[in-house]
């Protein structure tokens, strides 16, 4: 009974994790839109943090290796120009990274980015994992992200958790992390932010 109540509390808290998108891009569209960053391979964890309570609302993982993608498990980010398949957003250029953060940041939430420079092998393993994971049920965004990180060499000690802030606090203790906080003061929801970012 206590476990069931705890899970209900988790689901209630993670209102930023939405239902998996019904949009599935073709492999041809995904291949045509691939974006390759010129910098070193990186993993970046995004945590959406409530400005009032300090609680976490959503977790996502950006992988920059042979191409750059965002694993947005149970996320609500959608744009016709960003192919999506299995909760993975493709073609993530710098402009789309900014649009992603801008869509989530508003008067009630800010976005914490935790960036790690990794080896090409680590990046490719993460890319393989997010692409093969498939869609994630609502409220399982942090669980899915922490599970994927555990399977990347060098990140095996990451603890599984349903709570975005717990994962963020774990990652803050890791050597080499570069943390950034992004704020905006507009109203609205994720989809409103997408429209504004592309306006």
The torsion angles phi and psi of 39, rounded to 5 degrees, stand at -80, -175
**pTM (2 decimals)?**
0.85
C-alpha closest to that of 16 among 141, 183, 125, 117: 141
What's the confidence (pLDDT) of residue 186? 77
Rounded alpha-carbon distances, angstroms, from residue 12 to 66, 143, 159: 37, 15, 22
Structure tokens at 2: 């206590």
Q: 91-113, pLDDT tens digit by residue?
A: 999 999 999 999 999 999 999 99
Residue 108: other Cβ atoms inside 10 A: 16
Predicted pLDDT of residue 138: 87
Q: Is the pLDDT of residue 192 over 60?
A: no
Contact 96, 64 (CB under 8 A): no
């Amino acid at each position: 009974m206590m476990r069931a109540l705890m899970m209900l509390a988790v689901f209630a808290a993670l209102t930023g994790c939405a239902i998996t998108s019904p949009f599935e891009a073709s492999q041809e569209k995904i291949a045509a839109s691939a974006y390759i960053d010129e910098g070193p391979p990186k993993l970046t964890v995004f945590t959406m943090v409530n400005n009032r309570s300090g609680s976490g609302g959503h977790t996502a993982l950006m992988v920059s290796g042979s191409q750059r993608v965002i694993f947005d498990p149970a996320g609500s980010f959608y744009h016709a120009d960003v192919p999506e398949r299995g909760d993975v957003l493709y073609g993530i250029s710098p402009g789309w990274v900014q649009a992603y953060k801008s869509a989530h940041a508003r008067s009630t939430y800010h976005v914490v980015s935790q960036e790690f420079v990794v080896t090409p092998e680590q990046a490719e393993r993460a890319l393989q994992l997010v692409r093969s994971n498939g869609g994630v049920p609502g409220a399982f965004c942090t669980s899915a992200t922490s599970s994927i990180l555990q399977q990347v060499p060098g990140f095996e000690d990451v603890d599984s958790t349903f709570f975005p802030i717990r994962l963020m606090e774990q990652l803050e203790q890791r050597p080499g992390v570069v943390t950034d906080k992004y704020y905006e003061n507009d109203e609205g929801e994720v989809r409103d932010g997408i429209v504004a970012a592309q306006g």
